[in-house]
Amino acid sequence: MNWTRVAQVGLVLVATAAVGTPARAENIRLAEGTKIAFVLNDTLSTKNNRVGDEFRGVVSRSVRVGDRIVIPEGSAIRGVINHVKRPWRAKGRAELGLRFDEIELPNGTKINLVA
């Protein structure tokens, strides 16, 4: 099974992000189930990918907390494949687990994710 795009991923994030001025960083907690829409830059496949392989994508819609944008559109998202289950011959479902580790904002600020 190949995945080249992911429309939305529901995550619970605790991130340290520069919101407002770069010198004023604060912890931002997004509500459980907050969706981050992004497009993968890499093709992911249960056939070709292994646990530990990295992937990248680009956030396609800004994420807001109240009236503030905390993850702007165009931010780079990075992660690692943490689970691969290949389908059995005629039956079975393929599974690919993704762990999201970092978002880089367009201004270069990097946010470590705990999801």
Residue 36 pLDDT? 85
Burial of 75 (0-12, 13-18, 19+ CB in 10 A): buried
Chain segment 6-46, per-residue pLDDT in tens: 434 444 343 433 333 344 456 777 887 888 888 999 888 88
Tokens read off for 12: 């619970």
Contact between 97 and 60 under an 8 Å Cβ cutoff? The reply is: no
Please report, as a single letter, which amino acid is at residue 85.
K
Domain boundaries, the chain: 2-112
Per-residue b/e over 83-98, b at no fewer than 16 CB within 10 Å?
Answer: ebeeeeeeeeeeebeb
Angle at 44 between CA 31 and CA 36, to 5 degrees: 20
Q: pTM (2 decimals)?
A: 0.70
